[in-house]
Amino acid sequence: MRIVVIAIGRLKQGPERELAERYRERFDDIGRKLGFRSLEIHEIPESRARDAAARMADEAAAISALIPDKSSI
């Protein structure tokens, strides 16, 4: 099994990114023992559309494009 995290927005350099990377490394070490192949993190840039509905549609399409067929969500 593999785990994929898809997020809108990018995590900037700093303590939050360092903490996220630390947890990712911990997951890689422990996850293999529990049967997880990998942890993938995809950061999608925020949409630049003018209105909220168009932004949500753009971001939803970007997320959907990264979800493999036959995935459990």
Q: How does pLDDT run across 10-66, given as a tens digit for each residue?
A: 888 999 999 999 999 999 889 989 988 888 899 999 999 999 999 999 999 999 999
Q: Return all residues near 66 (Cβ < 8 A) that are at least 6 apart.
A: 4, 6, 42, 44
The whole-number pLDDT of residue 48 equals: 93
Which tops the pLDDT comparison, 54 or 68? 54
The whole-number pLDDT of residue 50 equals: 93
Which tops the pLDDT comparison, 4 or 60? 60
Q: How far apart, in whole angstroms, are the C-alpha atoms of residue 19 and residue 16?
A: 5
In this prediction the pTM is 0.75
Of 70, 48, 69, 68, nearest in space to 59 by CA: 48
Element holding 41 (H helix, E strand): strand 39-44
